[in-house]
Amino acid sequence: MNSIAPQVVQDLEKLWRKVKDSDVRALVIASSNPLLYSAGADIKSFTTLDESSGEELLRSTHALFEELGAGGVATIAAVNGLAFGGGCELAMACDVRIAARTALFGQPEIRLGIIPGFGGTQRLPRLVGASKALEMNLVGDPILAEEAFELGLANRVVDDHELLDTALAWARRLAGQAPLALHAIKRVSGAGELQQGLAAEREAFASVFASADAREGITAFLAKRTPRFTGS
C-alpha cells in the first residue's frame, strides 16, 4: 500500500541523500502499485510508537518533505490511484504533481480522530485555497483528479498509461534548467510563514495523537468498526 511507515521514510531519506550526492537534477517519485500512489500513514505502526519514536517520525518526515520542496533537485510526483493522508502530503511536498485520471487526493485523518501530520494543514491551503483545504481536512472526503487540477493541486491530468512517460518528460525538462536559478526559484517562491505553520502542525498533531479519541479512532479503524469519539 506504499504506506508512510517509519521504514519507508528511512528508505526515502537514504534515496534522497544519494540523489543529493550525485549529479541528478530531477527526481520522479512514482508507485510500482498500479492501484495507488500511497494509502497514507501506516496506522498499524502508529500503535507501536511511543512519545519519543513518534516525535522522531514527525521530525524526520517533515525534514525530508521540506527538502523535497526546497532543495536543488526538481521533484515530480507521478500520482496514480489513491493519494491519501501522508501519500497526499508526500505529493504536495514535491514541486510538480502529475495525476492519472483515476487518481484520488484526500486527507482522511479526521476520521481516525487525528489531524494531518506531514504538512497537510499547511501545504494544502497554499495549493487549493484556505476554504477548500479546510473542507478537505474537516470532512475527509477525497477529490478526483480533474478537480485537483482545477484547484491547483495537480499540475496536469493525463491518461493512466501516459502517467510515467509524462512525469519523466517533466523531469528531463526541469533537469535541463539552470541549476542555480531552479534552486533559487524553489527557495523563494511562496516564502512566508510555512515554517511556523509546520511547527504548529507538529505540535498540534502530537497533542491530538496523545488523546483518547485518537486511540479510539485508530483502534476502530484497525477493527473495521465505527469509532465512538468522546472529545477527550
Return the DSSP state at 39.
Answer: -
Where helices occur in the chain by DSSP H, the ranges are 6-20, 43-46, 51-70, 86-93, 123-128, 130-139, 145-151, 163-175, 179-188, 194-209, 212-223
Lookup: cell for 142: 477525497
Lookup: cell for 20: 543529493
For residue 1, the one-letter residue type is M
Residue of 109, 193, 201, 216 marked active site? 109
Active site includes 146? no
Active site includes 89? yes
Sheet holding 82-84, edge to edge: 36-38, 82-84, 104-106, 143-144
CA-wise closest residue to 217 among 225, 207, 209, 227: 227
Residue of 13, 55, 66, 89 marked active site? 89
Lookup: cell for 203: 505540535
Return the DSSP state at 161.
Answer: G
137: left (phi over 0), alpha (psi -120 to 50) or beta: alpha
Question: Which residues are designated catalytic?
Answer: 89, 109
